[in-house]
Every structure is written in C-alpha cells, then in structure tokens.
Structure 1
Amino acid sequence: MSTPEPAGREELQARLQAELEQTMAAGILLQQAVADRLGLNLADFKCLTALSGMDAATAGDVAASTGLTTGAATRMIDRLERGGWVRREQDPGDRRKVIVRPVPERMAQIGPLFAGMSQAWAQALAEYDEDQIAMMLDLFRRMRRVAGQQAAMIREGS
C-alpha cells in the first residue's frame, strides 16, 4: 500500500475550515442540549452566555451581544427574569437606566453541565505544548472576530 502524499496548504485550509464548521455545529448541539436541560430556548441560553462575561448590562448591551433588536432583547430579559436567571436593578448613576444582572445561584447551574466537555478539552489540550495552545488561542480569537464581522455584514445586507 502506498503512503498518501502530504496535503498542500489549500487542501489543509479547506479541511480545517470544514472541521471548524462541523465543530461549530456540534457546539450548537451541545448548547441546545444544555438549554433544553435548563428549560430554556437556545436564544435565551446564548443571552445568559453573553451575560456571564459581564457583571451587569443594559438591554442595549444584551441586544448588541445577541444581535437582537432592543425590543426583542427586552422580551428575552423579561423571560429570563421570570425564570429567575436575571434581575433588573436601577442604575445608581442614572435612574433612567435599568441594569440587568445574572443571578449567581442560577448561573451556577450551567457549569456542571459543561464539566464533561471541559474535562475532554483538558485531555485533548494536554497533547499540545504552550506555543501550540497559544497559536490555537490566537486562531479562535481571530475567527470569533471574523464571525462577528460577517454576521454584521449579513444583517446589513452587504
């Protein structure tokens, strides 16, 4: 049996892009499973994911981080507040503003559902050195930025 020839750069890039697309699709399925377990729809769960990186946010911040209109973001916040996931507070600096804060006790329910994935990631990354992990980190940061830019262009009709 002959040894396959090494793939060229273009083929490797195409294979990497296909793998990334499938990885993103698998990630969405994982997030949907977590959302289902928590009794949330995927959009509301994604909102919680965005809020988990913030101490507090306005409805405008939620809209910007989810790609929703401010009206849709407000309805989402209403659902999450009814479910006990977030609470609204008056902004002490501007009484006209309402701040949305995640409820830590509810947010603590999310982490254990990702524990298996976190453990699997740690095992997979153990095979790579620090320079390789730093390169992957750079790649994922760039891809996240590109995805955001592309989503904005698509929404604008570009």
Structure 2
Amino acid sequence: MLFHHHLAAKLGLSVTDLKCLDLLRAAEAPLTAKNLADLIGLTGGAITGVADRLEAAGFVERVRDPDDRRRWELRPTTARQDDVLALFAPLTAQLAQLVSHYDNDQLDVIVGFLDGLGTILDNQISALRDGTAVEAEEAQESAPIT
C-alpha cells in the first residue's frame, strides 16, 4: 500500500487513480467507466472523477465505442507510459536479482504459493463485496494446492 501511495504521488495521482490505471492497462479489451466502476467497486460519480483526473494527466483517453456511440471506452495512452515504467524500473531490476537466487523448482513452489494466495484473496474480495462470509474450511478447499 505504501509503495503504491508513493508511486501514485510521484505521478500526481491518488492510489485509487493508479489502481484504476493498472486495471485499464491490464484489461484484455477496452473498459467503459461502468466496467471499471464494477471492477473496483466505485460509484459512477467517483469513477467519473477518476477518469477525469487520468485524462487530464494524460494517462487515458475517452474513445467512443464504435458499436454504441452512447458509450465511451477508457483507453490508456502511450504518452505517459514511460513515466510509469521508469518508476517501476528499480523494482523490476531488484526483483530480477532476487529471483536469480532461486532454481526452477523453488520458483515453481513460490509461483504455486502466490497463485494460491491470489485465489484466496479473490475469494475474500468477492465475499466482502457480496456481504457473504467465507468460512475457513470453504476458503481452504477452493485454494489450489500445488
């Protein structure tokens, strides 16, 4: 959280703005503001503010959906991509150095652990969003064991 806070501040963004930008950059297809709001759990008004700030800072552009001219897609621009990548470069280099100390079998175990952790967190996010409790036994059963 602190890393992302300071990274966002260097880019002139809030953490929420940065996380939305991350989601837009990682999406396999362009997202509308509604898609983004649903993914992150913000209201329509809040996501409009995020989109306005990201657009004003040059990180995204609004493009009319070619199939439905009433809808707008939020698309990351290449203009500020280098700024983001430059801030991640030291982290990327240090992670590469860290990974170099492990053999492939050890890395497989680490990847398995992180995949399982991701599944657990996804389940917990869904439970928090839906207002349903995930019991420890249920959560354990849905986490992959590798």
Give the TM-score, by structure 1 length.
0.75
CA contact under 8 A between 2:60 and 2:76: conserved in structure 1? yes
> For structure 1, which runs of at least 5 residues remain unmatched after alignment?
1-27
Partner of 1:126: 100
Q: Distance between the aligned counterparts of 2:60 and 2:32, measured in 1?
A: 12
In terms of mean alpha carbon deviation, does 127-136 or 81-90 score higher?
Answer: 127-136
> For structure 2, which runs of at least 5 residues remain unmatched after alignment?
133-146
Per the TM alignment, residue 149 of structure 1 is displaced from its structure 2 partner at its CA by: 2.0
Partner of 1:88: 62
Q: Distance between the aligned counterparts of 1:152 and 1:69, measured in 2?
A: 17
Aligned-partner residue type, residue 57 of structure 2:
G
| Cα RMSD, aligned residues only | 1.6
Give the TM-score, by structure 2 length.
0.80
CA contact under 8 A between 2:58 and 2:79: conserved in structure 1? no
Distance 1:85 1:94, change over 3 A: same
Task: Give structure 1 regions of 4+ aligned residues with deviation exceeding 4 angstroms.
Answer: none
Distance 1:67 1:136, change over 3 A: farther
Work out which of the residue numbers 60, 74, 77 in structure 1 matches 2:34.
Answer: 60
Aligned-partner residue type, residue 30 of structure 1:
F
Work out which of the residue numbers 62, 66, 88 in structure 2 matches 1:114.
Answer: 88
Matched, 1:29 2:2: yes
Structure with the bigger RCO (C-alpha within 8 Å, sep 6+) is 2
